[in-house]
Amino acid sequence: MYQPRGSCDGGWRGILFFHGGIGLYGSIDAYERMCCGIAQESNSLVVSVGYRLAPEHPYPAQFKDCLTAATYFMKNVKKYGVNPDFIIIGGDSSGGTIAASVCQHVVYKSDLPKVRAQMLIYPYLQIVDFNLPSYQRNSHVPVLYQKHVVEFGLQYLQQDMSLVKDILEGVHISQELKLKYRKWLGPENLPKEFQLEGYRSPQPSSDSVLKSEELKIIFDTTLSPLLAEDAVIQQLPETYILTCKYDVFMDDGLLYKKRLEDNGVTVTWYQIQDGFHGILYFLNNRLFSFSGSQRGLNSIVNFIRSL
């Protein structure tokens, strides 16, 4: 827990933060610089949530742990000096996925305070299409290659690693399912400046239906919150989304931004033009320094202070 010095009339803003690591890696200690920076500069209390990791603790243990932590914190915010009207749920990378899913689950809980905002930092928001323009454009851009995303995802879900090639080729789902979700995942939903010239849309194979049965878990909204129904999206709080130009997950953020805005949710979007996935991890790092890390933090802090 990171608490600013001094006191705050009416209570602090309370930020629940879920770290990234695709459910396999990451820790509270690894994210201390980021959480401490957010707490100090936004004058907010930040609770960094530790959760069990796969493969020792298979999915959905990670989501369940974070939902439990969120529920407890929201019921007891006053014990921590937090104003119940200013609860923010956020995270980076797969922690952003968890944050989005937790928000979708708590909006209907009448025994909990309303979440004031969600804060999603270069999140992945769907694991159905790994061939969106940002995946194709940044397929070999460090630190997260297109192939690595699929490999880590299969490891996390304890699925057959031989499926990597089919998933990368986009032949792991049926044409029927591809058409069903195109209304939300189609690249035509992206801003024109991010629609890739020469974009290649994979075509499902004849045996894709079988693979869809094996991988039906990928459509669960705890893994793909972008696929939640409009009735859920409409209930979500004001949202902050940070994306990076050189990140395979950039389009996930942009597509979720559109879904939220189409359903009347206010969105603040910030793009780090020279950013890559995980850039905020290097905030105040003694060995590696990137100006985009501080710009990203400044944007996050400005959003929090604006609430």
Gap between the Cα atoms of 179 and 183, Å rounded = 8
Task: Please report, to the nearest 10 degrees, the dihedral formed by the alpha carbons of residues 179, 180, 181, 184 taken in order.
Answer: 100
Tell the residue number behind the tokens 């990171």, with chain if given.
2
| Helix, strand and coil percent figures for the chain, each rounded to 5 | 45, 15, 40
Q: Which residue has the tokens 């879900």?
A: 157
Structure tokens belonging to residue 194: 């991010």
Give the up-direction half-sphere exposure of residue 154: CA atoms within 13 A in the CB hemisphere.
19
Q: What is the rounded CA–CA span in Å between residue 65 and residue 173?
A: 30
Kindly state the DSSP code that residue 2 receives in the 8-state scheme.
Answer: B
At 90 the three-state DSSP class reads strand
Q: How far apart are the first and last CA of the chain?
A: 21
Residue 38 near residue 17 (C-beta atoms within 8 A): yes
User: Catalytic residue numbers?
Assistant: 93, 247, 277
Q: Residue 151: which residues within 8 A CB-CB, separation 6 or more?
A: 161, 164
Over its C-alpha atoms, the chain yields an Rg (Å, rounded) of 19
CA dist 259 and 233 (Å) reads: 8
